């Protein structure tokens, strides 16, 4: 094919876009996918093999296979200017002049990987033509790519967007817009807790990060859980003497990782004690989620203990029990004694029982007083 890739430029409400048609081989060479955990700007999961194979088989088995939806990529304005050549009233990319990937794939990862696998069997697919829409941004505006990814996959498809929430804070850190690291630590802590598969973890798949999906697994929203642990997260940062104003972006990122690892382990230990006391409130269940993936969890919606009321009250009691000493040297002895000694029983946690209707701050304080045996008239 011609090494000149002609571009069409247009704007939507001040946002610049480029549109072009390119063969799969060159698009694959010029693009990268930002995978969470592998790139500081990562926000996507690795491609699902089943989905990739489905596209691969379609391309190999269907003689008139069509991938009609445009690929969407992001590109830095500065980089684009370096490889863009203007000619007359138009402009083009010279493929020979581009030596490394310049595009970040926002939407189309599975189609690209499916084409890649199919082309290994049928090389002619390297010439498969696709339409591409490029979002053009300055480096400090890369967060717009994350917003586009979230918008596409939360409304039009069933794709996990939980990592996009975590990545949002990373973009704030590396964009110099992080005013409070505590919330970032809290979100990372909640994510690591709900993903922890070491032993029996009552929070496995129990915190709902897929806030756009009504049928997502999880008994409590990430926002409610984050608010319940914010005091602990802020305290940890104070205990280690972290200075947000003088820290570099890399230091902020590393501290957020360190803090969330530590606090997720703390919460796992604490809620093991909670399960020891009120074990009947947690039911081991295995089912398919709305992505048809087999998931295990331990929550039971018939009880308030892992809903907003329970997490706010129990995590507050936990913080009260360990706050007198640095959290970096916590001891759960007091928390253990407090929980085990509580006169609240399993049935009190059931919906419609003792804690029914306690949704305000005053209600949380009342629930806390019951657990601490400071009020027992209804027990």
Q: What is 13-48 written as a DSSP string?
A: TTEEEEEEEEEHHHHHHHEE--BBTTBTT--BPPPP
Contact by Cβ (8 Å): 261, 328: no
Residue 242's pLDDT is what?
94
Contact by Cβ (8 Å): 257, 188: yes
Q: How far, in Å, CA of 26 to CA of 303, rounded?
A: 55
**Dihedral, CA of residue 360, residue 366, residue 372 and residue 374, to nearest 10:** 160
Contact by Cβ (8 Å): 320, 326: no
The alpha carbon dihedral of 143, 148, 151, 153 has a sign of negative
List pLDDT tens digits, range 173-196: 777 677 789 999 999 999 999 999
Indicate the burial class of 288 (C-beta count within 10 angstroms; 0-12, 13-18, 19 or more).
exposed
Helix axes 308-322, 333-341, angle to 10 degrees: 130
Q: Closest by alpha carbon to 110, among 78, 74, 158, 143?
A: 158
Q: How far, in Å, CA of 242 to CA of 252, rounded?
A: 9
Q: How far, in Å, CA of 51 to CA of 36, rounded?
A: 19
Q: How would you write the pLDDT of the chain (379 residues) with one tens digit per residue?
A: 578 999 999 999 999 999 999 999 999 999 999 988 788 788 888 888 988 999 999 999 999 999 999 999 999 999 999 999 999 888 999 898 898 999 999 999 999 999 999 999 999 999 999 999 999 999 888 888 888 888 887 655 545 556 677 777 777 777 767 778 999 999 999 999 999 998 889 999 999 987 666 677 899 999 999 999 999 999 999 999 999 889 988 899 899 999 999 999 999 999 999 999 999 999 999 886 655 677 899 999 999 999 999 999 999 999 999 999 999 999 999 999 999 999 999 999 999 999 998 988 899 999 999 999 987 666 6
Residue 58's pLDDT is what?
95
List pLDDT tens digits, range 199-210: 889 999 999 987
How many other CB atoms are found less than 10 A from the CB of residue 301?
10
pTM across the whole model? 0.72
């Amino acid at each position: 094919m011609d090494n000149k890739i002609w571009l069409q430029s247009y704007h939507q409400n001040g946002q610049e876009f480029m549109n072009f048609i390119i063969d799969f081989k060159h698009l694959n060479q010029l693009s990268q996918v930002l995978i969470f955990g592998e790139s500081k700007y990562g926000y996507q999961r690795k491609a699902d093999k089943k989905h990739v194979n489905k596209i691969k088989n379609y391309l190999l088995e269907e003689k008139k296979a069509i991938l009609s939806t445009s690929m969407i990529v992001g590109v830095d304005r500065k980089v684009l200017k370096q490889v863009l050549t203007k000619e007359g009233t138009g402009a083009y990319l010279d493929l020979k002049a581009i030596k490394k990937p310049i595009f970040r794939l926002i939407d189309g990862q599975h189609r690209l990987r499916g084409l890649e696998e199919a082309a290994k069997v049928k090389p002619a697919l390297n010439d498969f033509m696709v339409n591409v829409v490029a979002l053009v941004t300055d480096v400090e505006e890369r967060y717009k790519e994350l917003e586009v990814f979230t918008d596409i996959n939360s409304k039009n498809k069933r794709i996990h967007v939980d990592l996009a929430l975590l990545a949002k804070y990373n973009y704030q850190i590396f964009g110099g817009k992080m005013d409070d690291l505590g919330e970032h630590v809290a979100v990372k802590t909640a994510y690591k807790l709900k993903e922890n598969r070491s032993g029996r973890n009552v929070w496995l798949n129990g915190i709902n990060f897929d806030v756009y999906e009504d049928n997502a697994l999880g008994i409590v929203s990430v926002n409610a859980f984050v608010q319940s642990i914010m005091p602990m997260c802020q305290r940890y940062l104070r205990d280690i003497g972290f200075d947000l104003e003088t820290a570099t972006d890399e230091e902020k990122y590393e501290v957020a990782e360190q803090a969330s690892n530590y606090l997720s382990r703390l919460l796992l230990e604490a809620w093991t004690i909670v399960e020891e006391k009120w074990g009947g409130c947690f039911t081991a269940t295995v089912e398919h989620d709305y992505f048809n993936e087999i998931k295990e969890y331990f929550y039971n919606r018939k009880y308030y203990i892992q809903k907003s009321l329970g997490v706010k009250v129990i995590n507050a009691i936990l913080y009260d029990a360990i706050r007198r000493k640095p959290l970096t040297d916590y001891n759960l002895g007091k928390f253990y004694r407090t929980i085990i000694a509580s006169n609240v029983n399993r049935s009190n946690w059931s919906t419609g029982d003792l804690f029914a209707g306690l949704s305000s701050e005053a209600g949380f304080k009342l629930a806390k007083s019951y657990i601490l045996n400071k009020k027992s008239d209804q027990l």
